[in-house]
Amino acid sequence: MKAFDYTAPVTLPEAVGLLVSQPSARLLAGGTDLIVQLRSGRKEADLVIDIKKIPELNALEFDPTAGLTIGAAVPCYRLTSHPVIQSHFPALAEVASWIGGTQIQGRASLGGNLCNAAPSADSIPLLIALGASALIAGPGGRRSVAIEDFCTAPGRNQLATGELLVAIHIPAPAAQSGAAYLRFIPRNEMDIAVVGAGVSVSIAEGVFTAARIALSAVAPTPLFVPAAGAALVGQPVSPAALEAAAQIAQAAATPISDMRGTAAYRKHLCAVMTRRALEIAVTRAQEN
Amino acid sequence: MALKVQVQTTINNEPVQFLCEPRQTLLECLRDVVGLTGTKEGCGDGNCGSCTVKLGDRIVTSCLVLGVEAEGETITTVEGLAHGNTLHPLQKAFLEHAALQCGICTPGFLIAADALLQKHPHPTEDQTRFWLSNNLCRCTGYDKIIRAVQAAAVEINGAPQ
């Protein structure tokens, strides 16, 4: 690895100041992407800013009205083991237990998974489905961006010079709502999604009242498909309704062929993963 | 050239200070600076788990941690498992079940399995395989490793109720 300096600020303004004065600096949370990228030369840094000592970035707070706030540096294991997340956001606890393996989850943060902006990122379709937003701080103050607007290209995101992700905010779950994320991988664990589908649904008296569907690994960025969710709203819960939504999601996907799968195979998987994820989300909504 | 940084840690219950460059990983610091070569480098990018150590109360791949991030932390490496000449029950079980061949992956498996048994005194086979999915072995085919971990669980924690 090329030489760099290291600093670990303890306040947000300090971190923003460092980013403004040294735009080539890189932020370090869990390091499971950054250290690999620095070693391979895919990214360079004169300065690495460790954000784990900033209290706000380590906060994990739930309020029944305000929802869930996940500090940008909170590692995955804190999400998988958190009782409120297990009970209110089971899909999120699952996805945090599927990113890498035990060792990776001890370091890797959801914030890093988002900022790394991989088209195949496991957490992003679910965050989109849950209606989450990215809370950003920078020299101009704070702003909030919907997760579906956060990634702009493979490995690229909305953050401007001097800005950093502070937290991910997820609204409190509505009554009779459920969510799920499913991915297809050839192994049982420790693999990159060939296709992933994140969904959330709300149901009242057997009829869908809201639904959001997003896909991973089938477009340059995680793909929000509003039309697929909209097709469910007003429909009674039925296999045909789920299949129709899955077909709309599939139609929106523009995958490439690579070592993980052909474009045609990925297209096929879009409908299968979406439908199966919807079945889980419906079951969860009916149990809530 | 970045200046070297002094890092203060506790490694295997001993206070240890070391000097490192910010770009050096914890794995490099343990092996090349502190001289604890039990921890092995496999892939160097977090996939194989050979370099697994315990950092605080979590297991991590030490190739993906900077040495400077270990400031103030407590670290357990494979050298910290045995008591003098008495092997840890996991080490004994690995020998008895022939759960290693070339041995490069073994320190990582031992540290990861030790953390598993602290969390789940009697892990199921599924729990064990899922927990150890970040550790690759190219020799044994895993079954012997899983059996060794389960035998060690009984040795340490008694038969499951």
The per-residue DSSP string of chain B comes to -PPPEEEEEEETTEEEEEEE-TTSBHHHIIIIII--TTS--SSSSSSS-TTEEEETTEEEEGGGSBGGGGTT-EEE-GGGTSBTTBPPHHHHHHHHTT--SS-SSHHHHHHHHHHHHHH-SS--HHHHHHHGGG---SSS-SHHHHHHHHHHHHHHH-S--
Half-sphere exposure of A126 (CA within 13 A, CB side): 26
pLDDT tens for each residue of A22-33: 989 999 999 999
- Return the pLDDT at A160: 96
pLDDT of residue A188: 78
B131 CB neighbours in chain A (<8 A) are 102
Question: Does the pLDDT at position A2 exceed 80?
Answer: yes
- What residues make up the domain containing B144? 89-157
Specify whether A226 is located in the same domain as A257: yes
**Domain match, A261 and A200 both:** yes
- The string of pLDDT tens digits covering residues A67-113 is 999 999 999 999 999 999 999 999 999 999 999 999 999 999 999 99
Report the domain count for chain B: 2
Decide if A44 touches B, using CB distance below 8 A: no
CB-closest option in A4, A35, A190 to B64: A35
> Looking at the complex, does the CB of residue A120 fall below 8 Å from at least one CB of chain B?
no
pLDDT digits (tens, 9 = 90+) for A244-268: 999 999 999 999 999 999 999 999 9
Chain A segment 180-219 residues within 8 A of B by beta carbon are 188-190
Looking at the fold, whether A198 and A150 belong to one and the same domain comes out as no
Find out whether A9 and A18 touch, Cβ atoms under 8 Å. Answer: yes
Indicate whether A118 and A201 sit together in one domain.
no
Q: What CATH number does the domain containing A42 carry?
A: 3.30.43.10
Residues of B in contact with A189 (CB under 8 A): 130, 133
CATH number at residue B41: 3.10.20.30
For the entire predicted model, the pTM comes to 0.96
Last residue of a domain, one of B56, B80, B104: B80
**What is the reported pLDDT for A192?**
92
> Which of B3, B4, B6, B23 would best serve as a mutation to test chain A binding (most A beta carbons within 10 A)?
B23
Can you give the pLDDT at residue B106? 98
Neighboring chain B residues of A6 at a CB cutoff of 8 Å = 2, 5, 22, 66, 68
Report pLDDT digits (tens) over A121-157: 999 999 999 999 999 999 999 999 999 999 999 999 9
Q: Spell out which residues of chain B touch residue A2, defining contact as CB-CB under 8 Å.
A: 23
Does residue A64 share a domain with residue A161? yes
The mean pLDDT of A44-72, rounded to a whole number, is 97
Q: Is the pLDDT of residue A42 over 90?
A: yes
Q: State the angle between helix axes of B89-96 and B106-119 in degrees (0 to 180), rounded to the nearest 10.
A: 120
Residues A109 and A198 sit within 8 Å (Cβ to Cβ): no
The one-letter code for the residue type at B69 is E
Q: Counting one residue from A and one from B, how many pairs have CB atoms under 8 Å apart?
A: 89
Task: Indicate whether B27 and B64 sit together in one domain.
Answer: yes
A283 and A187 housed in the same domain: yes
Q: Which residues of A touch B65 (CB under 8 A)?
A: 31, 35, 107
Query: Which CATH number does the domain housing residue A250 bear?
Result: 3.30.390.50
pLDDT at B1 over 60: no
Could you report the per-residue pLDDT of B102-152, keeping only the tens digit for each? 999 999 999 999 999 999 999 999 999 999 999 999 998 899 999 999 999
Q: Are A103 and B63 within 8 A, CB to CB?
A: no
Domain that residue A89 falls in: 55-170
With an 8 Å Cβ cutoff, are A35 and B131 in contact? no
CB A14 within 8 A of CB A139: no
Considering the domain architecture, whether residues B72 and B94 belong to the same structural domain is answered as no
Question: Do residues B96 and B132 share a domain?
Answer: yes
* Among B40, B133, B137, B142, the residue to mutate for chain A (most A Cβ within 10 A): B133
A168-204 per-position pLDDT tens digit: 999 999 999 999 999 999 887 888 999 999 999 999 9
